[in-house]
Amino acid sequence: MATGGTGEVAAHGKVVMGGLEKAVKNLNNIKKAYASLSVMHSEKLHVDPDNFRVGVKLLADCVTVCVAMKFGPSVFTPDVQEVWQKFLDVVVSALGRQYH
């Protein structure tokens, strides 16, 4: 996505976080919940597959760091981080499913 400024980046960040909320609300079938997003990124937006895979994984890592900083080590323990990262791995896989 080409951005025209920080306002667009912030707006897309809200969309991304809303997408994570959708995943949380659909834990039993994240792939189904993300099917239309996967199609949109691959077929409508024509996001390059390599850039998409690297970008989404990098974004997931950045979100992990932000969540860890927000909650701190007493809440975001190594066990919580492990579960969180597994959740994000499923999200990344579901979002990139159309590229498989």
pLDDT at 1: 47
3-state secondary structure 33-86: HCHHHHHHHHHHCCCCHHHHHHHHHHHHHHHHHHHHHHHCCCCCCHHHHHHHHH
pLDDT at 38: 86
Record the pTM: 0.79
pLDDT at 2: 52
Residues of the chain with pLDDT under 70: 1-5, 100
